[in-house]
Amino acid sequence: MRTLTTLTGNSQKLDGGAMFGNAPKALWQRWMPADELNRIDLGCRALLVQEDERNILIETGIGAFFSPELKQRFGVQEDRHVLLDSLAAAGLSDADIDIVVLTHLHFDHAGGLLAAWQADQPPRLLFPNAQFITGRRQWQRACNPHARDKASYIPELLDLLENSGRLHLIDENEQCELLGPDWRLHWSDGHTPGQLLPEVAMPGGPVVFPGDLIPGAPWVHLPITMGYDRFPEGLIEEKEALLADLYPRGGRLVFTHDPAIAIGQVNRDDKGRYSLKNTQSSVRNLAE
């Protein structure tokens, strides 16, 4: 028996132009209205997979590790660690998580691994009983970042993960034995090298957590990319390949950054344009 539950993490407000790359504001503001500072609302959603008496968490969001100054700079809205509240609402704590799968190590996807900021206290790693999974090439990128995304990584977190003795680095050509044969891993380099996109087998069709390859419903449209993507043209090709694979299988996507849509089924019209159907704002114990 396997069940899926989407979990809300800390939310952000980020510049809409940066989030929609070369798409004009006249287009993207139809999907996500901007405030007076040109910022749009973004979520940091995680996915809880419960199976075989184990709890698997896909991503942890941005969390609350930032100091007040950096919290304001990056538009983090809440002071508390919202993901921990969401876990508690599901009857769990961070100590109950057996595996954490990280699509990549940017702070808005992995920062939730850290406890909330406290003055004069060093960063502290949560999830004391979890094994941590991420891509080997993404780990290498994080440890030796390019100037373009150096500020997106948390050096202290990398040290804590490595020193935990519970970090598992996965290569593209291998099956992740820790997750098991019912899990499939897709890979993407367009946003950041070695981004790992887990696919969970479900009776009603597979569910994929596409990370920043497709961060929300508007980005299902093939030409839409983010200004943060390192290789937008390659990302579009990766996105098209993933959607083409999922559509005939009734595949669904869980969005990490969409504030309103948690999950949707991949749809395609007679002109080959991709969209979503059967969208939901949240999922609780989806088993089918």
pLDDT at position 97: 98
| φ, ψ at 195 (rounded to 5°) | -70, 130
Q: Round to whole Å and give the CA distance between 39 and 280.
A: 24
pLDDT tens, N- to C-terminus, the chain (288 residues) = 899 999 999 999 999 999 999 999 999 999 999 999 999 999 999 999 999 899 999 999 999 999 999 999 988 999 999 999 999 999 999 999 999 999 999 999 999 999 999 998 999 999 999 999 999 999 999 999 999 999 999 999 999 999 999 999 999 998 899 999 999 999 999 999 999 999 999 999 999 999 999 999 999 999 999 999 999 999 999 999 999 999 999 999 999 999 999 999 999 999 999 999 999 999 999 996
| φ, ψ at 119 (rounded to 5°) | -60, 135
| φ, ψ at 118 (rounded to 5°) | -135, 135
C-alpha torsion sign, points 196, 162, 116, 147: negative
pLDDT at position 52: 87
User: Residue 128 half-sphere exposure, CB side, CA atoms within 13 Å?
Assistant: 4
Phi-psi domain of 78 (left: phi exceeds 0; alpha: psi -120 through 50; beta: other): beta
Domain 2-280 indexed as CATH 3.60.15.10: yes
For 166, the 3-state DSSP assignment is coil
Q: Are 185 and 208 in contact (CB under 8 A)?
A: no
Q: Round to whole Å and give the CA distance between 240 and 224.
A: 12
Determine the residue type at 279. Answer: T
Q: Are 258 and 219 in contact (CB under 8 A)?
A: no
Q: Are 213 and 235 in contact (CB under 8 A)?
A: yes
Q: Are 56 and 99 in contact (CB under 8 A)?
A: yes
Q: Are 228 and 239 in contact (CB under 8 A)?
A: no
DSSP letters for 129-167 = T-EEEEEHHHHHHHHS--TTTGGGS-HHHHHHHHHHT-E
pLDDT at position 237: 98
Residue 277 pairs with which residues in a beta bridge? 265
pLDDT at position 240: 98
Beta strands 252-254 and 263-268: pairing type? antiparallel
Structure tokens at 43: 């979520």
pLDDT at position 282: 97
Structure tokens at 115: 């406890």
| φ, ψ at 98 (rounded to 5°) | -90, -35
CB atoms within 10 A of CB 234: 15
